Amino acid sequence: MNFPFFIARRYLFSKKSTHAINVISGISAVGVAVATMALVVTLSVFNGFHDLVASLFTNIDPQLKVIPVKGKTAPADDPLLTKIRQMPEVEVATETLQDMALATYGDRQAMVIIKGVEDNFDSLTHIKDILLGNGTFELHAADLNYGILGIRLAETLQTGYTFRESLKIYAPKREGQLNMANPEDGFVEDELYSPGVLFMVKQAKYDKNHIITSIAFARNLFAQQGMLSSLEIRLKPGSDFEAVKSRMQQVAGEKYHVYDRFEQQEDTFKIMKIEKLMAYIFLTFILMVACFNIIGSISMLIIDKKNDVVTLRNLGANDKQIVRVFLFEGRMISAIGAVVGILVGLLLCWLQQQYGLVGLGRSSGSFVVDSYPVSVHPDDVIVVFFTVIAVGWIAVWYPVRYFAKRLL
């Protein structure tokens, strides 16, 4: 057995001549454990919110989205897009056309994003899982075009689940000059009717201003016949996602970008990643403060064991081995705190997952979820463990060498 480690272990669990040293050592381990627990729980809560937001976007975002690099639209019959559609791993592909317009209902109006999609859009996404109302997912019937509004947009326009009258949609004409004497001539006007449902993604980005309708309506409204804003794709189950995406990008070349769900919402997830990083850095500073207790404990232990040091030297121990004894003492305190903190943190995360101990609001349904979401990622636990060990070892190294030179 390693001689310095053996002596350090005996010192850690044995009684000292001064009882306060045992108390301070215990407090040091508890302080490290609490800081470690806070790191585990906080990072897991951030993971929970990340996974929750990702699941919400999954209901309306496609697995893969192909968009033109230059300009807002591209020809729907582009040979590159045809090659992508015909890839054997593609199960569903739908063309979409999206642009801004003005919607009016009665005396209310709002700027909206019209997203025209094909009839197979419900096979591409989980749109049916987020529909509210007594109707069904329909985009058109005979000569009528239907529009499915986001729930917050419906509240703004006060349409209800079913329109009492048609929803007027206005988009600027792409050709010709605006006649100031008669500005209405500068707009294309069309109408949408209600299929009796609204959608609720629980994200303002969609719920506040999006209208889903047929792509034929969007092309007529924006004078974009034969064009698309994006090609949205769902892969067959069991497909190698990253490999297929890479091959699609090779086919698309420099003319199109191929985005996955996280890249489609890059800004949202980047902000969440930065917030998680800042929380990690902040709690690491708290951990460093907690490690100051270890410095005090080791300093008192060095003073208490001066006679033992003389005995160890007489038995043949050199200064390097003696210093390592106290280094191991401090490192074991930080290691015990790390292990206990991680175990307690994992226990709290499990209890939150099972029982939702910490709620988000006073009443059920006030938020997207009723309690803080938690998701434990093994890589985060590993990072926390090595962070605690590294901070603890660094905190111990300098004080032990400093006091050893002066007191031993």
The tokens of 359 are what?
A: 């709620």
Residues 151 and 177 in one domain: yes
Backbone angles phi, psi at 241, to 5 degrees: -55, -50
Dist CA 26 CA 262 (whole Å): 45
**229 in Cβ contact with 67 (< 8 Å):** yes
Domain that residue 108 falls in: 63-263
Residues 100 and 200 in one domain: yes
**Closest Cα partner for 150 from 135, 129, 131?**
131
Query: DSSP assignment, residue 15?
Result: P
Please report where in the chains the tokens 């329109």 appear, as a residue.
163
Higher-confidence residue of 4 and 221: namely: 221
Q: Find all residues with CB under 8 Å of 40, minimum gap 6, and list them.
A: 341, 342, 345, 346, 349, 376, 380, 381, 384
Q: Find all residues with CB under 8 Å of 362, minimum gap 6, and list them.
A: none
Condensed to tens digits (0 to 9), the pLDDT of residues 339-363 reads: 999 999 999 999 999 988 888 765 4
3 state SS of 408: coil
| Least confident window among 20-34, 267-281, 316-330 | 316-330
Confidence at residue 363, expressed as pLDDT on a 0 to 100 scale: 45
User: Last residue of a domain, which of 238, 263, 288?
Assistant: 263
Confidence at residue 364, expressed as pLDDT on a 0 to 100 scale: 45
Confidence at residue 177, expressed as pLDDT on a 0 to 100 scale: 60
DSSP letters of 242-291? Answer: HHHHHHHHHHHTTTEEEEEHHHHTHHHHHHHHHHHHHHHHHHHHHHHHHT
Residues 85 and 234 in one domain: yes
Confidence at residue 131, expressed as pLDDT on a 0 to 100 scale: 94
Residues of the chain with pLDDT > 70, as a percent, come to 88
| Least confident window among 226-235, 354-363, 392-401 | 354-363
Confidence at residue 67, expressed as pLDDT on a 0 to 100 scale: 96
Residues in the chain: 408
Ranges assigned E (strand) in 87-186: 90-105, 108-117, 131-133, 140-141, 144-145, 148-150, 167-172
Higher-confidence residue of 221 and 292: namely: 221
User: Last residue of a domain, which of 263, 297, 318?
Assistant: 263
Residues 53 and 182 in one domain: no
Q: How confident is the prediction for the chain on average, in pLDDT?
A: 87
Residues 106 and 186 in one domain: yes
Please report which confidence band the pLDDT of residue 223 belongs to, taking 50, 70 and 90 as the band edges: very high
The tokens of 27 are what?
A: 């407090």
The tokens of 81 are what?
A: 């897009």
Q: What is the dihedral of CA 364, 368, 374, 379, to 10 degrees?
A: 180
Dist CA 212 CA 232 (whole Å): 14
Condensed to tens digits (0 to 9), the pLDDT of residues 75-131 reads: 999 999 999 999 999 999 999 999 999 999 999 999 999 999 999 999 999 999 999
| Least confident window among 7-16, 31-40, 149-158 | 7-16
* CB-side neighbour CA atoms (13 Å) of 392: 30
Structural domains counted in the chain = 2
Confidence at residue 213, expressed as pLDDT on a 0 to 100 scale: 97
Report the 3 state secondary structure along 286-331.
HHHHHCHHHHHHHHHHHHHCHHHHHHHHHCCCCHHHHHHHHHHHHH
Dist CA 121 CA 248 (whole Å): 20
Residues 238 and 136 in one domain: yes
Please report which confidence band the pLDDT of residue 329 belongs to, taking 50, 70 and 90 as the band edges: confident
User: Last residue of a domain, which of 263, 278, 307?
Assistant: 263
Higher-confidence residue of 230 and 177: namely: 230
Residues 252 and 285 in one domain: no
Condensed to tens digits (0 to 9), the pLDDT of residues 63-77 reads: 999 999 999 999 999
Residues 92 and 182 in one domain: yes
**80 in Cβ contact with 253 (< 8 Å):** yes
* CB-side neighbour CA atoms (13 Å) of 12: 22
**Closest Cα partner for 104 from 180, 42, 171, 185?**
171
Higher-confidence residue of 59 and 107: namely: 107
Dist CA 135 CA 403 (whole Å): 77
**Closest Cα partner for 199 from 279, 138, 280?**
138
Residues 210 and 354 in one domain: no
Confidence at residue 29, expressed as pLDDT on a 0 to 100 scale: 87
Burial of 361 (0-12, 13-18, 19+ CB in 10 A): exposed
Residues 75 and 164 in one domain: yes
Q: Is the pLDDT of residue 16 over 60?
A: no
Please report which confidence band the pLDDT of residue 212 belongs to, taking 50, 70 and 90 as the band edges: very high
Residues of the chain with pLDDT > 90, as a percent, come to 60
Residue 183's CB: how many other CB atoms inside 10 A? 9
Condensed to tens digits (0 to 9), the pLDDT of residues 41-54 reads: 999 999 999 888 88
Residues 176 and 313 in one domain: no
- Strand partners of residue 122: none
In order of 196, 279, 308, the CA distances from 20 in angstroms are 73, 34, 18
Residues 127 and 23 in one domain: no
Question: C-alpha angle with apex 164: 161 to 168, nearest 5 degrees?
Answer: 95
